[in-house]
Structure 1
């Protein structure tokens, strides 16, 4: 019977059959994830759904999409509805699915092919009618499977539910999909974290397993103490003590009991069965009869009978057709640990012999068996070959894991240490879904085996990875600078390091100190014929120069290649275009920014550049903020922040936009929280334009709350960063609020300093801001409007005698509720009747627009007085609105709205 999971099962049964649902079930080994899934799939409510199940394996080969492809094999014999030709991309992976269209012509780009395969999988799943896709043990998934699942779970077909199970403790970075994930609004999201059973549940489970009167509370407590409440261990233990259920042996530890349980299952079986199960434990992955008999060194004629006996004893299971393995890792480990050293080594040698002739060679398994058999030379050979293959097929998680293991081997010759370390750094830099190699590279740098010639390259790779990590920019600069000094014999690598050190918008290093690095890269580019390297350097140089308003960049882009041929070149061109889009957004060239983004994102998707895509998505969010495309912007930015929270450049930019959006609604707690994450606390480890924008946002927030002291402090901190950096182009958002809070004499000097700082620069946003600083709001409005900066134009128009009623309505449509309230307040203060907000006069049990504003601010934790200040109402009016909100929503206190 299912014990202790009734609530979880009810949640699943009430959602999965009724709508598209994403279910994530996490828990340690043996906690009952598979048991819960089995119970769900067997429920009558799911009878009309097509069930597809795939399993990830601990010793997987670098075969992308393996678990999902296994699940899709369950469609053999299923009638597919009409599918587009793109579904034919699955033909090479699913030749047995004969209803698929013909395979489309090759694109010639593995990353573009991969994207087409993702689309094909979604197409097929959408065509089979209501279905549930289950992928178990995601902690062992290849990057391709994770990528495909993210693709499906981000926008699943309306008739598909996805269920994944995983052990968080065995995940790289503790993220099941390789990066943070949040279901889209139209999809039901269910996260179940299964914990151990409590004593009462263990007692119920024990009673059911032993098929007797309820066991004593003392026995249940002993049982839970010895098994930690893990259902699988409870079951296995009780199956071994059926003859004395009254009490547990005091001297036996849980791992021993588990091993004894399997020894008990095997005790009545013949020797051949023992040899088969030992072979299965050593292989570690489901295997066929032939492979099992080769490893076990027995006659194949007798193997099938032994497998039947093992299945009846509940030791081995037919995991998939003609493939046998253990139901649970603990079961396999219990048998494996029971093997004596010499016998275990011999079985690993047998496994090597059995796998050596398999085509394609299962390199990961061969490497692991060689390592465990102490065949060091084979382990090093197969391990590196497996890492290379994983790199080739775009599976950096397998590659980095293997390379880290190889580098941990003692007594590696210098040549191998050099080669493996540089491979590790290069592979890790290629993607996001990976084991963190920074600690390994750091250790390698202190390893005396690393040659002097390779030390600089490894240090450079380490520094480039550190730049992406929050709080390590300053440290990364020192590491890269030292690497450049060591790379005198490798000018190409030294140029890559110089390009990072010259990136103007990273950290608080003064521009004057970064210009020599940019000049050094320019000098190298003059004679650089390597298109991939050249484009990579241009990505840094052009983006850096444009971000500071260099007028030559956009007028002459002849240095930028228009045609590329290799995947590496396409990846670098995508990075260049996305960097230019980001810089265009910073200086106010919004039309150009949109053009660069469109082409850059397309190239990045085709080339398989997830990091570039992530930065482009955050740039688009900031661009949409400036250009007034606010519909769904907060939700999109929040979703992306959850996905990319650990990526400093992306997370800080998204936080800035979320903070600015909160400001326009008067949500002070949310605004403060988001703006504090823009780098204002530590500009040395920030993206400088974003941090300056954060200071500007904080100053506006404090000014709106009439806290001139706090507003002035934020302004002074922001101006200090601008002056230290020496880039006034980035003060477009800060300068106007600075003029508003500083004493007149200081404000006047600031305006002149600002004007001098942007003179001759390509900085239309700063030029419009300068007009605003000078009080020429009519010109500022015209310039902002010409840029497409609609919100900033509206702000300026308030000072130009605009129609405040119409402006208030426009602010309402945009979502800037505090701005709308300010306009209506100004109308009232002038004695002009303020028209009611658009909409019907009677709202019945629904919340009126004003009541929605009040409810939202109550949920933010604001008091009535604070809400009154935000919405320019009297506290008495707010009190009345709050009472109506509570009544209409059927809650008794405002605290329930906050919850």
Structure 2
């Protein structure tokens, strides 16, 4: 049967189901016909319907949707299998990683789609529990090219539209007069007026016929003003006897439509039959369904507070699930009740253990409201704030933390406030918070040092080291004291401490080791530590930290010359940071993408990424990211041959963050020489020599040699020393400069091999401006070569290829990258011919593993 007035929308749904897109949201006001529309095209589908009473129960909707295919979870990677089984309540879960649960949902949907495809329908999305909504949207944004289609119906509100950003949206409008006439038998003038008064709402048009008299429909009597349609269900319910209204209230507050629970909670069978006779509900086997969600809302609205508390108490006795029992007890509570608060706290703990942080935050906030003791209330609010943060709800997290601090402020709460500020607010304010609260607590001192590193505040770095020195020996203490000594000018002490401290295979310690290597001027060692941290974070499933760790891993890969891999990590980190609400982390990934785009000559992309990064980093006082974004713009100028502009930008950076000042010095030297400013170039070389005086790695020494070669007379031996670097990108930069120098000295035959090497490496890295410069020099040296046109992997393909080349199994690749094993196999099918290989062994050889 075709729905009246929805022919165009049905055609659009059919096109969606047969097209290439994976997710579509149908939005409209209550009564617009969203559910009916989806029902027309979704006969064979997995189906879940949000229910307001269940909106705080983590993974309730997901359980409803995936229960028919849960048995397929055994085909997933072990980590994903355990995560999804835990989320669905089929096994104990300790993942505490919402991204892993979301990846498991994606994998399970793709697994269930074989071989004939899969349609999933989620109705009343606005009432889904947050954990289910997050997991489904995570999957929806990554279901590209799969056999899964996800249809969502939701009320058209600002919050819903924001939640569904990135998902195509179809908005239902009201019916016109012609379609209204197909629903109503009335005079044309009456139909026109009713359509105007109801805005063409299909439910209102349908119900109005039962409310108006024949004379009113014919137009011989005036229409009521206003139309009583808004109260139609309320009016029907008000006319029922008390027993029938009681049954409807039990069913409305139960939420799941479980007939057995409704009966155990005190519903009289005769009253249930009477409620069904009214048409407001139907029973189907063991399920109760309301005629329309507005009926449930009207039932609850019509009931008094005492009635609702009584029913919630009865439901708490009738349900077996501990989480639902706790929720009903909480709704029935009249005031503070520690037993009920404790039950909610336990429910929140279970939600956290399955990765349902946002729902845990809601439960803990309610538990705090019911907690009599002030200290316990503050403690629950603090955990609620942390849960909201990990659940991607930074606004709620800050509000909950403010409430906790007002009750019983502690250094631990100040640390949490500082972390919130550092991740999404003002980095300088975060530094102040940590420093004020630290005392002699090493963790808080480390947080203060981390914030200082973002801000570029050397004085605070030194102060932190001074305060950490009397504390018991530890790796963290060594990092703080050693770094402070270096910044204070005691290079011997700082170098000794930092070199003797050995990090564990822990992502946090590896990142500290990376920072220490940077302070020693050893960019290659820093890159290696950061890359290791990224691998550790993926394997361990670190809660809430992966987007941040990927900042450093992406930077490391860029510094190692792996530009495509760096961009791939930043694209992944950017998506995760946005989903997690980590605003400052977003700036970091944007800045890194800007640098990669600059090297590759993608000017529009570079400027867009840099501008977006600066819009966050400047007001949030993240000087490190400000420096990286500005460095990207300078490097863009340098690659395009705008040497004076590049030198001006790089010179302006010398008053900025110490790390970016050091990291951009080699480019500043080159820009100064190319623009004819040898004095400035020499000063920059001296600065780099001083910064790198403690560096012992080959790459650090090679970089100094290259810069010296640009300003000293005996340049060729220095260039040859610089060619010993293990960074392909740096080696190509050196080969280009050496080739240019030799050609200018008319040693053309000696210049050609170096220029050829530079052109080949730049071509392989996609550094097009630099490749063109090398090819131009080759032509001037009498050798014509064409630009390299190597097959390029997409960021997704590159991430998969790198892990497979390292020997990681397809299932483990899927788990680490939040993909399905089938997606990994699909991409490998495309990767092999692009790289001209036919096995994992050949892939490892090509990628240099």
After superposition, the C-alpha distances for 1:116-172 in whole angstroms (9 at most, x for unaligned) are: 965873575155642112333444234266336625753678432233445585859
Partner secondary structure for residue 161 of structure 1? strand
Please state which structure has a larger fraction of its residues in helix: 2
Structure-to-structure mapping, 1:687-702, within 5 angstroms: 687-702=622-637
After superposition, the C-alpha distances for 1:761-820 in whole angstroms (9 at most, x for unaligned) are: 467665444333323576787677655432332222222125446644553443233333
Aligned to 1:131: 118
Q: Choose which of 266, 281, 288 in structure 2 pairs with 1:324.
A: 288
Partner secondary structure for residue 626 of structure 2? helix
**TM-score, normalization: structure 1?**
0.71
d(CA) in 2 for partners of 1:751 and 1:824?
28
Aligned to 2:63: 69
Aligned to 2:443: 496
Relative to structure 1, the CA distance from residue 117 to residue 84 in structure 2 (aligned partners, 3 Å threshold; closer, same or farther) is closer
Aligned to 1:442: 402
After superposition, the C-alpha distances for 1:715-755 in whole angstroms (9 at most, x for unaligned) are: 23310014xx4886444565435634583323322321232
Q: Choose which of 405, 411, 431 in structure 2 pairs with 1:477.
A: 431
Q: Choose which of 208, 212, 237 in structure 1 pairs with 2:182.
A: 208
Q: Are positions 1:359 and 2:320 aligned together?
A: yes
d(CA) in 2 for partners of 1:173 and 1:476?
32
d(CA) in 1 for partners of 2:3 and 2:522?
61
Q: Choose which of 806, 809, 814 in structure 1 pairs with 2:765.
A: 814
Aligned to 1:673: 608
Deviation at 1:659, TM superposition (A): 1.7
Aligned to 2:151: 163
Structure-to-structure mapping, 1:779-798, within 5 angstroms: 787-798=725-736
Aligned to 2:23: 22
d(CA) in 1 for partners of 2:192 and 2:29?
26
Q: Are positions 1:799 and 2:737 aligned together?
A: yes
d(CA) in 2 for partners of 1:780 and 1:71?
66
d(CA) in 1 for partners of 2:129 and 2:101?
16
d(CA) in 2 for partners of 1:523 and 1:234?
77
Q: Choose which of 243, 246, 257 in structure 2 pairs with 1:287.
A: 257
Partner secondary structure for residue 154 of structure 1? coil
Q: Are positions 1:334 and 2:298 aligned together?
A: yes
Partner secondary structure for residue 59 of structure 1? helix
Deviation at 1:466, TM superposition (A): 1.3
Q: Are positions 1:623 and 2:556 aligned together?
A: yes
Q: Is the 8 A contact 1:758 1:766 kept in 2?
A: yes
Unaligned ranges ≥5, structure 2? 740-750, 791-849
d(CA) in 2 for partners of 1:232 and 1:455?
54
Q: Is the 8 A contact 1:88 1:120 kept in 2?
A: no
Partner secondary structure for residue 168 of structure 2? strand
Deviation at 1:464, TM superposition (A): 1.5
d(CA) in 2 for partners of 1:85 and 1:413?
45
d(CA) in 1 for partners of 2:191 and 2:248?
36
Q: Is the 8 A contact 2:706 2:722 kept in 1?
A: no
Aligned to 2:820: none
Aligned to 1:421: 381
After superposition, the C-alpha distances for 1:186-222 in whole angstroms (9 at most, x for unaligned) are: xxxx61142543xxx3434422322567666842662
Aligned to 1:577: 510
Deviation at 1:355, TM superposition (A): 1.1
Deviation at 1:614, TM superposition (A): 1.2
Q: Is the 8 A contact 1:207 1:215 kept in 2?
A: no
Aligned to 1:46: none
Q: Choose which of 134, 155, 160 in structure 2 pairs with 1:146.
A: 134
Q: Is the 8 A contact 2:97 2:541 kept in 1?
A: yes
Q: Are positions 1:370 and 2:338 aligned together?
A: no
Equivalent pairs counted in the alignment come to 756
Q: Are positions 1:399 and 2:384 aligned together?
A: no
Q: Choose which of 574, 579, 604 in structure 2 pairs with 1:641.
A: 574
Partner secondary structure for residue 163 of structure 1? strand
Q: Is the 8 A contact 1:678 1:694 kept in 2?
A: yes
Q: Is the 8 A contact 2:510 2:532 kept in 1?
A: no
d(CA) in 1 for partners of 2:388 and 2:482?
25
Q: Choose which of 288, 291, 302 in structure 1 pairs with 2:270.
A: 302
Relative to structure 1, the CA distance from residue 655 to residue 767 in structure 2 (aligned partners, 3 Å threshold; closer, same or farther) is farther
User: RMSD between aligned alpha carbons?
Assistant: 4.7
Relative to structure 1, the CA distance from residue 728 to residue 808 in structure 2 (aligned partners, 3 Å threshold; closer, same or farther) is closer
d(CA) in 2 for partners of 1:547 and 1:69?
55
d(CA) in 2 for partners of 1:246 and 1:583?
85
Q: Are positions 1:660 and 2:595 aligned together?
A: yes
d(CA) in 1 for partners of 2:480 and 2:329?
39
Q: Are positions 1:175 and 2:163 aligned together?
A: yes
Deviation at 1:475, TM superposition (A): 2.2
Deviation at 1:468, TM superposition (A): 0.5
d(CA) in 2 for partners of 1:762 and 1:173?
55
Aligned to 2:651: 716
Structure-to-structure mapping, 1:65-144, within 5 angstroms: 65-74=59-68, 83=75, 121-122=108-109, 124-127=111-114, 129-139=116-126, 140-143=128-131
Aligned to 1:273: 244
Relative to structure 1, the CA distance from residue 286 to residue 458 in structure 2 (aligned partners, 3 Å threshold; closer, same or farther) is same
d(CA) in 2 for partners of 1:5 and 1:733?
64
Q: Are positions 1:252 and 2:216 aligned together?
A: no
Q: Choose which of 766, 774, 778 in structure 2 pairs with 1:823.
A: 774
Q: Is the 8 A contact 1:294 1:351 kept in 2?
A: no
Aligned to 1:41: 42
Relative to structure 1, the CA distance from residue 331 to residue 637 in structure 2 (aligned partners, 3 Å threshold; closer, same or farther) is farther
Relative to structure 1, the CA distance from residue 270 to residue 442 in structure 2 (aligned partners, 3 Å threshold; closer, same or farther) is closer
After superposition, the C-alpha distances for 1:867-891 in whole angstroms (9 at most, x for unaligned) are: xxxxxxxxxxxxxxxxxxxxxxxxx
Q: Is the 8 A contact 2:523 2:700 kept in 1?
A: no
Aligned to 2:678: 744
Relative to structure 1, the CA distance from residue 205 to residue 781 in structure 2 (aligned partners, 3 Å threshold; closer, same or farther) is farther
**TM-score, normalization: structure 2?**
0.75
Relative to structure 1, the CA distance from residue 332 to residue 162 in structure 2 (aligned partners, 3 Å threshold; closer, same or farther) is same
Q: Is the 8 A contact 1:463 1:476 kept in 2?
A: yes
d(CA) in 1 for partners of 2:353 and 2:417?
22
Q: Is the 8 A contact 2:513 2:529 kept in 1?
A: no
Q: Is the 8 A contact 2:597 2:603 kept in 1?
A: yes
Aligned to 2:196: 222
Q: Choose which of 49, 57, 62 in structure 1 pairs with 2:51.
A: 57
Q: Is the 8 A contact 2:97 2:354 kept in 1?
A: no
